[in-house]
Amino acid sequence: MDTLGLMGHQGHRPRGGRYEVLFVYEDEDIVVVEKPEGLSVIAAEGSRTLSLYDIVTSHLQKTNPRGRAAVVHRLDRDSSGVMVFAKHAAAKKILMENWNDLVFERGYMAVAEGAFREREGCFDSWLAENRGGQVYTTKPGAPGALRALTDWKVESSSPRYSLLHLSLQTGRKHQIRAQLAGAGHPIAGDFRYGARTDPLGRVCLHASILGLEQPFTHERFSFESPPPEGFGRLAEGREVKP
């Protein structure tokens, strides 16, 4: 299995834009990028706002004028980190139909508010979604609820913030955000899920690891991206400017 880090790769910055997208890996079927925070994966219907999809498609069209990126999973607009796009319809179909088999690891780094009593554990909860798209923890087996499992470990902490490594066993909408909020430790900057502080001017959630089996060659890759420097500084109790 190859491990590919995202640091040190040349990024593509859209002209006139403020977003830098790092293109990490590419072959005939897939392209792996690092999404910056604040950039939507897909623009809302009717919107002309630049999206990650637009940037990746523009990149593909440099060598194939008819090329178009295909979205197979998403990160929230205010999160950052590793993502994969399919380069053609066949790759999209295989990835989406076999996602849980082809993706063997999904790891995140997050800065949560407060200090944890334990150093590691597993969030085992049931998540449901209200009409406004808000995900919340609920009773086991509640109507419409899905079980969500997330392993977590405290990497460093201060009285105000904790830096966590989280590994998904399941992939529910807003899983980490809702589970940390339900545990009384919302992600810093995540006001939608109860955060009280915004030390970095963003939701402090970063997709740090994506373990992926190439859908056609079956070669296994682990794409890794370190969290923003400010994450660690917060957990060490040092002041960070957004």
How high is the pLDDT of residue 5? 47
**Are 113 and 200 contacting, i.e. CB atoms less than 8 angstroms apart?**
no
How high is the pLDDT of residue 1? 58
Averaged pLDDT in 10-residue chunks for the chain of 242 residues:
46 54 94 95 86 94 94 94 97 96 97 96 96 93 94 95 97 96 97 96 97 97 93 83 60
Residues labelled catalytic: 76
How high is the pLDDT of residue 29? 97
Nearest one of 74, 1, 6 to 225, comparing CA atoms? 6
H helices, E strands: number in the chain: 5, 13
How high is the pLDDT of residue 10? 41
How high is the pLDDT of residue 19? 81
How high is the pLDDT of residue 96? 96
For 106, phi and psi rounded to 5 degrees? -135, 110
Nearest one of 165, 227, 213 to 2, comparing CA atoms? 213
Q: What is the DSSP string of 106-173?
A: EEEEEEEES--SSSEEEEEEEEEE-TTS-EEEE-TT-TT-EEEEEEEEEEEE-SSEEEEEEEESS--T
How high is the pLDDT of residue 239? 65
**Are 235 and 16 contacting, i.e. CB atoms less than 8 angstroms apart?**
no
| CA max distance for the chain | 55
Bridge partners (DSSP) listed for residue 146: 127
How high is the pLDDT of residue 238? 76
203's tokens = 């939701």
Residue ranges and CATH numbers for the domains of the chain are 2-235 (3.30.2350.10)
- Per-residue burial over 52-83, b if 16 or more Cβ lie within 10 Å, else e, is bbbbbebbbeeeeeebebbbbbebbbbbbbbb
How high is the pLDDT of residue 208? 97
